[in-house]
Copies of this chain bind each other. A is one copy, B any other.
């Protein structure tokens, strides 16, 4: 359980001990810790049950994007699993501290993690982990995506909240298994499809589809995670004179579209160049402008 030998800039770890409630002495709410040594108990419920929620924030040239919306979504996810989240001001400060402590790099991936904590204590565990982003260049040029059945209908968000639709939990084993299945099919990512035939989202991304001047995403009411990236892009698209909409779409709608992207905070806009066996048009210039918006530069 020793950490790997670091290569490149060292990751930064910030612990938010106690997770909730101000310390009695009004002292610091978080502190830097050594990311290269073990910091988690084997009985932390994230390790025994995948029981926690998280966010991943992108920081570009040291500037984090959409911190407020990410922390609001974390609070929403936490509420869905009945977990108390630290106050958002503290977390925002901790995110800033992690970025400040990290070597200057172009693209940083900053995770904000909240777990149910060590069994029996009732005290959540919370940490921020900042590391150099993976190199997403090939994905941003256009990627091959496989559609995969998610097994659930678009009605579960309304009927079955205990299935945690729309919560960004740390139970992502199915999401990871789906990406492995996509790779077996010669693709690199997944577009999940509901049991009633509507497209949903990627395992770690939000769908955006273009038809003419209209850009559409899946409504959160279908059980998908409300995307922070699409929430940034929509006002920008409207300012450019485009229409935006949230509407259920079928696989055929995406395959017959004028372009589609999977959006996320660190990978940014990744165009779908091929969906299963169908080639889709890729607009490199528009995608580049999306990246600028998603990096907070437009």
Distance (whole angstroms) from the CB of A54 to the closest CB of chain B = 8
Complex CA–CA separation, A159 to B149 (angstroms) = 9
Q: Is the CB of B48 within 8 A of A177?
A: no
**A39 CB within 8 Å of chain B:** yes
> For A149, A156, A176, which residue has the most chain B Cβ atoms within 10 angstroms?
A176
**Residues on the B chain within 8 Å of A150, using CB:** 163
CB of A143 within 8 A of chain B?
A: no
**A172 CB contact (under 8 Å) in B43, B51, B121, B149:** B51
Q: Interface segment, A9-17, A232-240, A268-276, A288-296?
A: A9-17
Least Cβ distance of A155 to chain B in Å? 9
Q: Are B170 and A172 within 8 A (Cβ)?
A: no
Q: Which of B17, B42, B164 contacts A39 (CB 8 A)?
A: B42
A153-B151, A169-B173, A180-B82 known; A40-B47 Cβ under 8 A = yes
The answer to whether the Cβ of A195 comes within 8 Å of any Cβ in the partner chain is yes
A35 close to B40 (CB less than 8 A)? no
Q: Chain A 163-203 against B: per-residue CB contact (8 Å), 1 yes, 0 no?
A: 11001011111111110110000000000000100000000
Q: Which residues of B contact A167 (CB under 8 A)?
A: 173
Q: Which residues of the partner chain B approach A3 to less than 8 Å between Cβ atoms?
A: 41, 43, 118
Q: Chain A: how many interface residues by the 8 Å CB criterion?
A: 64
Q: How far is the CA of A167 from the CA of B195 in the complex (A)?
A: 21
For chain A residues 35-55, which have a beta carbon within 8 Å of chain B? 35, 37-44, 46-52, 54
Per-residue CB contact flags for chain A residues 141-161 toward chain B (1 = under 8 Å, else 0) read 000000011111100100111
Contact of A44 among B35, B40, B164 (CB under 8 A): B40
A153 touching B195 in the complex, CB below 8 Å, given contacts A1-B15, A113-B47: yes
CA distance A49 to B180 in the complex (A): 14
The distance in angstroms between the C-alpha atoms of A51 and B81, with both chains bound, is: 19
A241 interface hit (Cβ, 8 Å): no
Closest B residue to A165 using CB positions = B151
Given A13-B42, A40-B41, the answer on whether A172 and B174 have CB atoms closer than 8 Å is no
Chain B, residue nearest A152 (CB):
B151
The answer to the question of A111 belonging to the interface, with a C-beta cut-off of 8 Å to chain B, is yes
Q: Evaluate contact between B4 and A127: CB separation under 8 angstroms.
A: no
Give Cα A171–Cα B81 distance, bound, in whole angstroms.
14
Question: Is A140 part of the binding interface, using a Cβ–Cβ cutoff of 8 Å?
Answer: no
Residues on A facing B (Cβ under 8 Å): 1-4, 11, 13, 15, 17, 35, 37-44, 46-52, 54, 80-82, 111, 113, 115, 118, 120-121, 125, 127, 129, 148-153, 156, 159-164, 167, 169-178, 180-181, 195
Give the 9 A-B residue pairs with the shortest CB-CB distance, closest first. Answer: A50-B50, A171-B171, A171-B173, A40-B40, A162-B181, A50-B171, A169-B173, A49-B172, A151-B152
